[in-house]
Structure 1
């Protein structure tokens, strides 16, 4: 197994653990009461913690279609596993990081769907008084992963380089800390 694959598995594992632990804490600390579930302000008027059970996607799209979500996730994870063969964090940073964030986020929500039949969401944001759909750590990973992967595909793919996409001063720090 390549060293990049160890990094990938580590990142995915950290994401899944962080996602599942935060969801567990929310389920333990904030009793679910449907639409009447309490919202706890972190930044009043902007950011709240709540306990939402989502059996669909954002905005409740495809609500109750758990088999659909499970099949789509299994398919997506298969595609991600296939694409992982081209991972190389130093030369393809956005591609590799995006792929791992997508994988970790997909697995985090997949675990909820299989285990409970719904996904636990708890981060509730208001943007200019618009109540954005409630989300979780896995959703954050999926969103950032999608943007990183899209950035690579739109702006970096096809450009061959032997130079790392990580700045050289960062690489020097890493090499000094971890000499071969």
Structure 2
């Protein structure tokens, strides 16, 4: 696959993640009252409306501009990695997932000062679509790099 097609595929995945993430967060912000309303779904899964001013698991909560700066550095590192691995088979998929998730949460941080989280499972902090994309992106990236090394 050409470098252009690889970049285009990653951009398409990232755009899809950002769109789905921002849509779901907008629905939550408009339909679920912050911070007390909860909607039970199945097997302990709940929809809630929480604000996270930190990063994963609310680390660096209230970090403000520092958290945004860390996110921008991480995005730059990811792009650097991506552009040096364009020939790696399927690298566009996890890169798009990671970029989309990072950008989705970065939009919230810059626009609102926090990230809207809304999926709650027992014994785990609330999370959102962007967080799912980042987590799955890391897992898929490990598999892609493992496959490429063989």
Relative to the length of structure 1, the TM-score reads: 0.76
| Residues 56-75 of structure 1: pairs in structure 2 closer than 5 A | 56-75=54-73
Runs of 4+ in 1 over 4 A off after TM superposition: none
Instruction: String of CA shifts for 1:137-158, please: whole Å, max 9, x gaps.
Output: 00000000111112333x2343
Please report how far the alpha carbon of residue 52 of structure 1 lies from its aligned counterpart in structure 2 after TM superposition.
0.3
Mapped to 1, the partners of 2:5 and 2:59 lie a distance apart of 39
Please report how far the alpha carbon of residue 133 of structure 1 lies from its aligned counterpart in structure 2 after TM superposition.
0.6
Mark the runs of 5 or more structure 2 residues left unpaired by the alignment: none
**Bigger RCO of structures 1 and 2 (CA < 8 A, at least 6 apart):** 2
Count how many residue pairs are aligned between Structure 1 and Structure 2.
147
| Residues 33-112 of structure 1: pairs in structure 2 closer than 5 A | 33=35, 37-43=36-42, 45-85=43-83, 86-88=85-87, 92-93=89-90, 95-112=91-108
Pick from 156, 161, 177: which aligns with 2:147? 156
Please report how far the alpha carbon of residue 67 of structure 1 lies from its aligned counterpart in structure 2 after TM superposition.
1.7
Mapped to 1, the partners of 2:46 and 2:61 lie a distance apart of 23
Relative to the length of structure 2, the TM-score reads: 0.90
Higher Cα Rg: structure 1 or 2?
1
Which residue is equivalent to 1:134? 126
Which residue is equivalent to 1:145? 137
Mapped to 2, the partners of 1:17 and 1:98 lie a distance apart of 17
Please report how far the alpha carbon of residue 108 of structure 1 lies from its aligned counterpart in structure 2 after TM superposition.
0.4
Mapped to 2, the partners of 1:96 and 1:3 lie a distance apart of 9
